A and B are shown apart, each in its own frame.
Chain A
Amino acid sequence: MSAKRLLLAMLLVGGCATPPKPNELESFEKLKQSPNYQVAQRRAPDLVAESERLFSKANEEWQSNDLDLSRRDSLMGSIKLKTALALVEYDQSKARADKAQADLRVVEDEYSRVNKDLVATQEQIALLQKLKETSSQAAMQQEKMKQEMATREAAGQARDKIAAAELALKGAEQVNAQEYAKVEYQAASDTLARARAQLDAKDFQMASQNADAARDQANRATQTAKPTYEQTASSTASQARNEALAKDLAGIPGAQVRLERRGDVQRAAVPIRGLFARNSTVIQPGHEGELDQIASIMKKYPSYNALVVGFTDNRGRRDALLARSQAQATAVYSALVGRGVEAKRMVVSGNGSDEPVSDNRTSAGRALNNRVEVIFLYQ
């Protein structure tokens, strides 16, 4: 009997115990733990309220062991709450999207600004690089022009020096260096030829050096040849002059020019006779033409000095003859000075009866010995 009672009591206790909670209700409870639940209450109050109502109802149904209804209402409540939570998620996402969109505008502005700076800087770099390139090209051009100018200058210098050497060589030729300084002249000529070839080959430095050397060699040739040349030229000139003088003197009517050499000195003696009466020292008239011609020749050859020497025959004392001859020579000297001949060019002397040119025993001979000689002196 007691066992039956115990079994009955157990059945009663078992029958009144709460059944296991349906899965749907448990899920619903978990869903209600969502952190967005309170936000959902504000966002969709109707849905959440409905969900709450269904949750309470499902709980009651579970408690009252009406599990199917509890599951049904749990599902519905969950759907309502999930819908409310989806609305919250939408709002949150929209807020995020709006914020991100606003942020995007800000950062895009910033990017635009930074990129603009970058582009501007890159443009400046491009300009600077272009400027650098242009400067470099200009510097190269300048350097090239400098080199060209230096080359031209070197070429000009070489040409000038070659011209100077040519001039020096011409100078050497003027003193007949090709004959009187053969070695030096040939060396100068060869060096000058080398310089010209180097100028053509644009080796201006060597051309200049050789031109300088050629000029020096030509100058040396000139110096070597000059004394010989001058000597030769001088003797040739003086010889020509002497011949001309002799010819001019021979042109004097009645004059018998006598050419002679005493030592190094050449003499051209012009005897003038009949100038004086016997024992007179005054020139007789009628001889002006003769004196004029002698004066004219003396002026024509101003480099020639002259002796004016009086001579007599041997009739008389020696000292008297010397004095008279001296006086007669002085008279001629004075006549020539009177005709414009420089006095300093003449030396007057009287030789008396010395140096007769004919026999004093005859009157003709004596006539020849009485004379005044104008003797032109030259080397």
Chain B
Amino acid sequence: MKPIRNGVLALVLLCAGHAFASQEAEDLKRQIESQRAAATDLERLDDRHLVTDEITLLKSWLDEAWQQYSKEEYKKVREVVDRCIAQAELIRQKITAAKMTAYANDREAAVRATHAKIDKTKKALLDAQSTKKALEMTSK
């Protein structure tokens, strides 16, 4: 009886292992697809094309993950997917930072432009004051 019991246990373990592997594969597949969608979103978010290289890299890694997945190299797929997730986060942060930088540049440009306007207005004011003085002199 003992050999039979061991055989059944081995069979159960084999089936459970197979089921677990199948679930992980599904999970990885879902993550790859999710990251592809995320890459597309990021591409749309990058309206100024500031992180084009990073996105390209992300896409190439997703392709690599998919190749590994096809080969059922799930461990490698997991590594590449983790890297893709980190890369996507990096891209998001870079886009946010770039947008903030652009906004800061814009504000600084506005400050410079306002300074220029002030200088121009001050000059116009000086001219106007001279004109006014001359008019006051002539009106006396």
Binding site for B on A (CB under 8 A): 72, 75-76, 79-80, 82-83, 86-87, 89-90, 93-94, 96-97, 100-101, 103-104, 107-108, 110-111, 114-115, 117-118, 121-122, 124-125, 128-129, 131-132, 135
B82 contacts across to A, CB distance below 8 A: 76
Q: Which of B104, B107, B128 is in CB contact (< 8 Å) with A121?
A: B128
B90 close to A128 (CB less than 8 A): no
B128 close to A93 (CB less than 8 A): no
User: What is the size category of the interface that chain B forms with chain A?
Assistant: 35 or more
Between-chain CB contacts (< 8 Å), 16 pairs: A72-B83, A86-B93, A87-B97, A90-B93, A93-B101, A93-B103, A93-B104, A96-B107, A103-B111, A104-B114, A107-B111, A107-B114, A107-B118, A118-B121, A118-B128, A129-B135
In the assembly, what is the distance between CA of A103 and CA of B101, in Å? 16
Contacts A86-B90, A107-B118, A108-B114 given; does A96 touch B79 at CB 8 Å:
no
The 3 closest A-B pairs by CB, nearest first: A100-B107, A97-B104, A86-B93
In the assembly, what is the distance between CA of A100 and CA of B90, in Å? 26
Q: Which of B89, B122, B138 is in CB contact (< 8 Å) with A114?
A: B122
In the assembly, what is the distance between CA of A104 and CA of B116, in Å? 12
Contacts A93-B104, A125-B131 given; does A111 touch B118 at CB 8 Å:
yes
In the assembly, what is the distance between CA of A37 and CA of B2, in Å? 63
Across the A-B interface, how many residue pairs have beta carbons closer than 8 Å? 99
Q: Other CB < 8 Å A-B pairs besides A93-B100, A125-B131, 14 of them?
A: A76-B86, A79-B83, A79-B86, A79-B90, A86-B90, A86-B93, A90-B97, A94-B104, A96-B104, A96-B107, A100-B107, A104-B114, A111-B121, A114-B118
Q: Which of B104, B118, B128 is in CB contact (< 8 Å) with A100?
A: B104
**B94 contacts chain A at the CB level, 8 A cutoff:** yes
In the assembly, what is the distance between CA of A57 and CA of B37, in Å? 32
A96 contacts across to B, CB distance below 8 A: 101, 104, 107-108
A100 close to B117 (CB less than 8 A): no
